[in-house]
């Protein structure tokens, strides 16, 4: 959508902010699913997005704020049937993003986690971007086209 002053704005958007505790992973997953439901996604599309969000939020909590507390931010926007989800933290960041993208790699080998979080996210969305800097946090941006959505929000 383009405003009168020529600004490109999403059809709809939402923003969440919560403490980096594991109980909030389910909250983020359900909130994103509820927001995306306006596009009438298939159960498969919804499950894939929920899983990708779970992985991103869990990574922020476990790896970003390793044994400390901080803030996790989740933003969602809809652009003509495309969902864009950002999960952001101000935690310790990722030293080597390309290494972190490798299946089974983990910065916390002592945990029961298998190091598949980023691989899982990549398999469930159309596009995954990771921006991170040591000591400054991480931003994960995911995009997924909802196949059943053929028209922008608010149009009959």
Does the pLDDT at position 110 exceed 90?
A: no
pTM above 0.95, yes or no: no
Both tokens of 131, joined, read 């921006």
Domains and CATH numbers, the chain: 12-145 (3.30.565.10)
The more confident residue out of 51 and 117 is 51
What is the pLDDT, as a whole number, of residue 156? 45
25, 29, 59, 139: the active-site residue: 59
Q: How confident is the model at residue 101 (pLDDT cuts 50, 70, 90)?
A: confident
80 is an active site residue = no
25, 48, 55, 88: the active-site residue: 55
In the three-class reduction of DSSP (H, G, I as helix; E, B as strand; rest coil), residue 18 is classed as strand
Q: For all residues of the chain together, what is the average pLDDT?
A: 88
113, 122, 141, 143: the active-site residue: 113
Both tokens of 148, joined, read 């059943």
113 is an active site residue = yes
- C-beta separation of 122 from 141 below 8 A: no
In the three-class reduction of DSSP (H, G, I as helix; E, B as strand; rest coil), residue 115 is classed as coil
pLDDT digits (tens, 9 = 90+) for 37-92: 999 999 999 999 999 999 999 999 988 998 899 999 999 999 999 999 999 999 99
If you average pLDDT over residues 86-108, what whole number do you get?
A: 81
User: Measured between alpha carbons, how far is 100 from 64 in angstroms, rounded to an integer?
Assistant: 13
71 is an active site residue = no
């Amino acid at each position: 959508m383009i405003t009168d002053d020529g600004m490109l704005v999403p059809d709809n958007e939402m923003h969440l902010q919560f403490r980096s505790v594991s109980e909030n992973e389910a909250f983020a997953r359900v909130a994103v699913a509820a927001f995306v439901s306006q596009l009438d996604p298939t159960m498969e599309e919804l499950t894939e997005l929920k899983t990708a969000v779970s992985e991103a939020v869990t990574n922020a909590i476990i790896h970003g704020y390793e044994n400390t507390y901080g803030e996790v931010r989740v933003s969602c926007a809809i652009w003509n049937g495309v969902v864009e989800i950002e999960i952001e933290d101000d935690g310790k960041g990722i030293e080597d993003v390309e290494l972190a993208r490798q299946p089974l790699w983990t910065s916390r080998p002592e945990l029961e986690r298998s190091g598949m979080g980023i691989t899982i996210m990549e398999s469930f969305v159309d596009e995954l971007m990771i921006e991170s800097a040591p000591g400054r946090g991480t931003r994960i941006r995911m995009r997924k086209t909802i196949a059943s959505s053929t028209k922008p929000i608010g149009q009959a």
